[in-house]
Chain A
Amino acid sequence: METDENMEFVVFAIMALVSTVCAILVISHRNPVSSALFLIATMVSLAILFLTLNAPFLAVIQIIVYAGAIMVLFLFVIMLLNLRKDEFGPERKKAQRFFAILFGFLFLILLATAINVGLSTFGHPEAPATKLIPAGVEPLAELLFTKYLFPFELASVLLLVAIVGAIVMAKRKL
């Protein structure tokens, strides 16, 4: 048990580091293709964190849907546009960048304070995490088809509308 907990800490530390570094590279790299590849790395490390959080189904979905489908769509569009270096245009000025980073840090401090206050106020639920959520697809599917049936159906309608909308917008002549 002791080694298991140590393992979880090690996995969390490595994946937190990898995801943060890759996220910073996503927004700082000049080439959009590299940005997309770093975003895939961030998503895969988050999927591994989902595994340690006892959500294997979401980890698989994260890799298939996010790292698979959505990011392939991104890469496909980047290659379709076929941008040259000079078409990227100028980036923000130094001063604007400085203030953006400054206010980003202030925003992060705000979020951390909110998390601290929230956890100290509402942190400990009546039944703490002694009851482990069951891993696997069945409990998720049961909730999805009973309590959350209506949002689930709405999501299917949303996907249909998105498909139609994307075709209407991207096609030259209908």
Chain B
Amino acid sequence: MVPLSSYLILSAVLFTIGVLGVLVRRNILIIFMSIELMLNAVNLALVAFSREFGSMDGQVFVFLVMTVAAAEAAVGLAIIICLYRNRKSVNVDDLNLMKW
């Protein structure tokens, strides 16, 4: 059996790549994809814990996380369409109206 720690390390690596995507890129679509990547990393950790502890609760959490991710994607993409219609840009640096 592959130990729990290797799944957790893989999950941490994927999460970090997602964080880096949010920090490094300026295209709002790719920032949004990085957020999906982070959610996926957390799902992997939850499923690995679920097997390690022999309980199904972790899998229920993953199911709910996927539902929330679907809702988040629908609303977020609607916001991006709205934004592009008003600003003609997908670059986050152009959206500085609320910047301090």
| B and A form one assembly | yes
Total interface residues in chain B, CB < 8 Å:
73
Chain A residue numbers with a CB within 8 Å of B2 are: 8-9, 12, 52
Bound form: Cα–Cα A20–B40 in Å: 12
In the complex, how many angstroms separate the beta carbon of A157 from the nearest chain B beta carbon?
Answer: 10
Interface magnitude class on chain A: 35 or more
In the complex, how many angstroms separate the beta carbon of B62 from the nearest chain A beta carbon?
Answer: 6
Interface centre among A20, A107, A132, A169 (most CB of B within 10 A): A169
In the complex, how many angstroms separate the beta carbon of B47 from the nearest chain A beta carbon?
Answer: 5
Q: Do A119 and B66 have beta carbons less than 8 Å apart?
A: no
Interface string of B11-35 (1 = CB under 8 A from A): 0111111111101111101101110
In the complex, how many angstroms separate the beta carbon of A124 from the nearest chain B beta carbon?
Answer: 10
Q: Once A and B bind, how many residue pairs between them come within 8 Å at the CB atom?
A: 230
Chain B residue numbers with a CB within 8 Å of A62 are: 43, 66
Chain A residue numbers with a CB within 8 Å of B4 are: 119, 123
Interface of B is mostly: helix
Contact of A81 among B10, B69, B72, B84 (CB under 8 A): B84
Question: Contacts A12-B6, A131-B54, A144-B60: A77 and B66 contacting too (C-beta < 8 A)?
Answer: no
Question: Contacts A19-B14, A148-B60: A104 and B1 contacting too (C-beta < 8 A)?
Answer: no
Q: Is A53 an interface residue (CB 8 A)?
A: yes
Chain B residue numbers with a CB within 8 Å of A152 are: 64
Q: Is A5 an interface residue (CB 8 A)?
A: yes
Q: Do B16 and A108 have beta carbons less than 8 Å apart?
A: yes
Contact of A115 among B12, B59, B79, B81 (CB under 8 A): B12
